[in-house]
Amino acid sequence: MMNIASEGIVGITNIASVLLIVFSGIFIIKGKMSLGNYWAVSQYALLFFAPMQLLASIRIMVQPGIAALTRINELLKLKTEDEICGNRQVGKIENIIFSDVSFGYSEKTVIDNFNMAISRNEKVALLGKNGSGKTTIAKLLLGFYKDYSGSIRINDIEIKNVSLSDLRNRVGIVAQNIVLFSGTLLDNIRFIAPQLDEHEIIAALSKAGLDISEFAGGLQAVISENGKNLSGGQKQKIALARMIIKNPDVMIFDEATSNLDIETSNLVKQSIHTIFAEKTCIIITHDPDMASLADTIIKI
Ligand SMILES: Nc1ncnc2c1ncn2[C@@H]1O[C@H](COP(=O)(O)OP(=O)(O)OP(=O)(O)O)[C@@H](O)[C@H]1O
Ligand SMILES: [Mg+2]
């Protein structure tokens, strides 16, 4: 549109110049106009066209700016998660109940009439093929989506009414896609609990099977955006350490051992019945060994 408009403006001024020459020529031949007059008119026309072109192009230059401002305005008007979520505090999580929950990201239903009841300290394994909706269930439990049908209740409070900061302090996840920030290893863990000293962080990392000497620079080792300079297993160990430090009531392990070596994977499996014994655990896995740690297995 911008190209059409700018070419249009050039076209119109060119046509106007041609018309001026043609009509001036006719008038001069008929003796109705002198060459001097023609010269004067053509100079005035030039003076007239230049600012007209400029005025027209200002609109073309301003238009993208207006569009960008509209988008920024729309973004600034969006409500934050905290403004649209409820404000009920759940307290220590005693039970989680999914009743007839259906949800889809678009028209396609991903979870259809899903039911699940988990009580305190229970270990539940969620099994199902790729794309069956296991991670989606974890996301629903963390309050990422509210447009589900049915009910998801924690301590008998509908999750839509719960304060998200309270919910997320009480439910932790070692996610399938681990988010790491560019910064030091220490920065990537300390944001969970700024009051912790370095010894406590090293202890949590070692519980997660990560030996700090693996990293040149120890806790000051630099991690690039999204942990591109780390192996999949190292990232998972950092995510596990975050979970250990966060110490939530409910721990979700979404394929949390898929990249770990046998030794570390066994360490995590042991932890589920030792350091996490007093925790409610939702274990999403394709590994039968990991699933066998659970009290209840739910296939979706
Ligand atoms: N953010 C999203 N937007 C649209 N569709 C999505 C989104 N996330 C997942 N899906 C779709 O929802 C379905 C369920 O995805 P989900 O990640 O819950 O599967 P999963 O059971 O965890 O699979 P996997 O075992 O591979 O991890 C898939 O068909 C996927 O394509
Ligand atoms: Mg998944």
pTM of this structure: 0.77
Beta-bridge mates of residue 127: 299
Distances, alpha carbon 122 to alpha carbons 140, 168, 280, 287, in Å: 19, 19, 5, 19
Q: How far apart are CA 278 and CA 275, in angstroms?
A: 7
pLDDT digits (tens, 9 = 90+) for 4-55: 877 888 888 889 889 999 999 999 999 999 999 999 998 988 888 888 878 8
Q: Which two tokens stand for residue 218?
A: 């120890």
Rg (CA), the chain: 33
pLDDT digits (tens, 9 = 90+) for 183-218: 999 989 988 888 888 888 888 888 888 888 888 888
One domain, residues 61 and 210: no
Backbone angles phi, psi at 289, to 5 degrees: -60, -45
Last residue within a domain, chosen from 78, 113, 146: 78
Distances, alpha carbon 174 to alpha carbons 11, 79, 208, 256, 268, in Å: 63, 27, 12, 6, 12
Q: Residue 87 falls within a domain, yes or no?
A: no
Instruction: Using the predicted structure, report yes or no on whether residue 98 has a pLDDT greater than 90.
Output: yes
The predicted pLDDT at position 155 comes to: 94
One domain, residues 212 and 121: yes
Q: Which amino acid would we find at residue 173?
A: I
Last residue within a domain, chosen from 52, 78, 104: 78
CA 56 to mean position of chain CA atoms: 41
The predicted pLDDT at position 92 comes to: 93
One domain, residues 217 and 71: no
One domain, residues 21 and 151: no
Ligand 2 center from residue 123 Cα (angstroms) = 18
Q: Which ligand has the minimum distance to the alpha carbon of residue 254?
A: 2
One domain, residues 105 and 63: no
Best of 101, 107, 112, 135 to mutate for ligand 1, by most ligand atoms within 8 A of CB?
Answer: 135
Pairing of strands 250-254, 171-174: parallel
Last residue within a domain, chosen from 19, 51, 78: 78
Q: Residue 124 falls within a domain, yes or no?
A: yes
One domain, residues 289 and 201: yes
Q: How far apart are CA 115 and CA 291, in angstroms?
A: 19
The range of the structural domain enclosing residue 65 comes to: 2-78
Where does the pLDDT of residue 274 fall: very low under 50, low under 70, confident under 90, or very high at 90 and above?
Answer: confident
Q: How far apart are CA 120 and CA 101, in angstroms?
A: 21
CA 104 to mean position of chain CA atoms: 18
Ligand 1 center from residue 132 Cα (angstroms) = 7
3-class secondary structure, 223 = strand
Which residue in the block uniquely carries the two structure tokens 């109705």? 32
Give the single-character DSSP code of 297: E
Q: Please give the average per-residue pLDDT across 273-299, as a whole number.
A: 90
Ligand 2 center from residue 1 Cα (angstroms) = 44
One domain, residues 192 and 271: yes
Q: Per the structure, how many domains does the chain have? A: 2
Whichever domain contains 170, its CATH number is: 3.40.50.300
CA 137 to mean position of chain CA atoms: 17
Instruction: Using the predicted structure, report yes or no on whether residue 119 has a pLDDT greater than 90.
Output: yes
